[in-house]
Amino acid sequence: MATVEKDIREESEKIIKVKKLVKKRAEELEDTDLVETPISEGPSWKDLEFSHPNRTIRIGTVFSGIGAIEHAFQRLGLKHKIMFAGDIEPNCKKSYFANYVINEEDWFSDIRDFDATQYKGKVDFVIGGAPCQAFSMVGHRLGFEDARGTLFYEFARVVKETEPKVFLFENVRGLLNHDKKRTWHVMHDIFEELGYDVKFRVLNSCDYGIPQHRERVFCLGFKKKTKFEYPAPIPLEYKMYDFLEDYIDTKYFLREKGVKFVTSHKNRDKSYTQINGDIQLCQKRNQQFNWHGDFVYHPDSELTPTDEAFDEFIFDVKDVEEKYYLSEKVAKYVLAGGTKNFKTSTKTDLDIARPLLQTMHKMHRAGVDNYVTHKGRIRKLTPRECLRLMGFKDSFKIVVSDTAAYQQAGNSIVVDVLIAILKQMDITKYGGRL
């Protein structure tokens, strides 16, 4: 992986100065609550039709990653044009250019060096999810200038310079309560200061078709006063098993030490691990480096047509190279408690992909990992399965290493949640004819 000389998360003198300034002023402010925008009680977003399907939406993205919003437009079949995009990670550029149409001159690597004024009036929709490590101590009503030096400021600056009809800002749920809720207050106020009607709400991907607990804040800003309510949840029709691949390389299987960690009573009781869960635990970008997270027992295959045949197969495990298979003792534990007779579909859903995290193959104990079992063996999710679990169809080309692919999936936004929002707001109303 290429070395990035200028880390987007670095603590520059400007950022340190800003943090000291806003911390001092934040201490003098009163706590007030901002109320989340309600959920729609009208027709389901799945049943809504776009009012202007022939219009083209001009989009610009920052902290673009692998293009979740771009893929959402592809899945919806909507006409769109990418006006600009960028990410500081070189591997993201490889993936982005392999999957979307964009001019080289419209890509930027570092948002801090990006001059967006050239796109003023040329963008309908701006999307981004700024990392907020530097934006740690902020107060209420501090204003646009007081947020300078932070990555959130860079997102707000792009909005200010381009003046889109609508923007979407996505971030972790914890942002709403950070620093006694003052962090979100200043962000919210800055968006309003820029002249936007601000709506926000925490949405969970498992409420929008993806079997994963992944809660994120989705903030919309409309240039004009707009009546908007967030899309209502829909029943979850799929389980994580529905997105498994049929053939898995042995490099994805857990070794003996990992199996012991995953199946221990202590870790399962504390919800560090989960076996045969219907809904995946929230994934993170570094998940392949640890054994925390999801494990799925997936016995159905041509080698295990019945429970008896599978039992026989498990008993023979001790005769197979241990680093790939469960030991007899661990296998009995994994299959206990009702899992022995568990049956589930082995089909792969190529129309609705499901979300995932980032760093699994080294299996360090550092984050949230995802694993499944296949033909009696426990393994982690593959990069393709991770992309499916983030809502990316198999048409998305993987052109980077496994490590980079895990990171990119874990850093992304769940495509299906974006689709629900785009339909609920009728994004075509903000497009035009090119």
- pLDDT tens-digit map of 232-285: 999 998 887 777 776 666 676 666 666 666 666 666 665 667 766 667 766 666
pLDDT of residue 372: 52
Instruction: Check whether 226 has a pLDDT greater than 90.
Output: yes
134 within 8 A of 19, measured Cβ to Cβ: yes
In the chain, the domains with their CATH numbers are 13-234+415-430 (3.40.50.150), 240-276+281-388 (no CATH)
Q: Residues 53-57: what's their mean pLDDT?
A: 96
Q: What is the pTM of this model?
A: 0.74
Task: Name the token pair of 145.
Answer: 């200038």
Most confident of 197-206, 343-352, 384-393: 197-206
Encode 350-388: b = buried (16+ Cβ within 10 Å), e = exposed.
eebbbbbbbbbbebeebbbbbbbbbbbbbbbbbbbbbbb
The sign of the torsion formed by the CA atoms of 327, 333, 336, 342 equals negative
Q: What angle do CA 229, 232, 238 make, to 5 degrees?
A: 150
pLDDT of residue 232: 98
Kindly state the DSSP code that residue 27 receives in the 8-state scheme. T
What's the pLDDT band for 21 if we cut at 50, 70, 90? low
84 within 8 A of 61, measured Cβ to Cβ: yes
Q: Residues 340-361: what's their mean pLDDT?
A: 36
Average pLDDT along the chain: 74
E strand segments, 260-368: 273-275, 293-295
Cα separation, 25 vs 27, whole angstroms: 5
Q: Give the least confident one: 110-119, 181-190, 294-303.
A: 294-303
Instruction: Check whether 3 has a pLDDT greater than 70.
Output: no
What's the pLDDT band for 72 if we cut at 50, 70, 90? very high
Cα separation, 430 vs 130, whole angstroms: 23
Cβ-based burial of 283 (10 A; exposed 0-12, middle 13-18, buried ≥19): buried
Instruction: Check whether 353 has a pLDDT greater than 50.
Output: no
pLDDT tens digits, 356-401:
444 434 333 223 344 455 455 667 778 888 898 899 998 999 999 9
Among 92, 132, 219, 282, the one annotated catalytic: 132
pLDDT tens digits, 89-140:
999 999 999 999 999 999 999 998 999 999 999 999 999 987 754 443 444 4
pLDDT of residue 349: 29
DSSP-based helix, strand, coil % in the chain, nearest 5: 35, 15, 50
Cα separation, 119 vs 163, whole angstroms: 9
pLDDT of residue 390: 92
Q: Is residue 386 among the annotated active site residues?
A: no
Q: Residues 199-203: what's their mean pLDDT?
A: 98
Within a 10 A sphere around the Cβ of 112, how many other Cβ atoms? 16
More confident residue, 425 or 24: 425
More confident residue, 430 or 296: 430
Task: Name the token pair of 371.
Answer: 């694993």
Q: Residues 167-186: what's their mean pLDDT?
A: 86
pLDDT of residue 401: 93
* Residue 197, strand partner residues: 222
User: What percent of the chain shows pLDDT beyond 70?
Assistant: 58
Most confident of 10-24, 167-181, 260-274: 167-181
The sign of the torsion formed by the CA atoms of 280, 282, 286, 290 equals negative
Task: Name the token pair of 272.
Answer: 């560090």
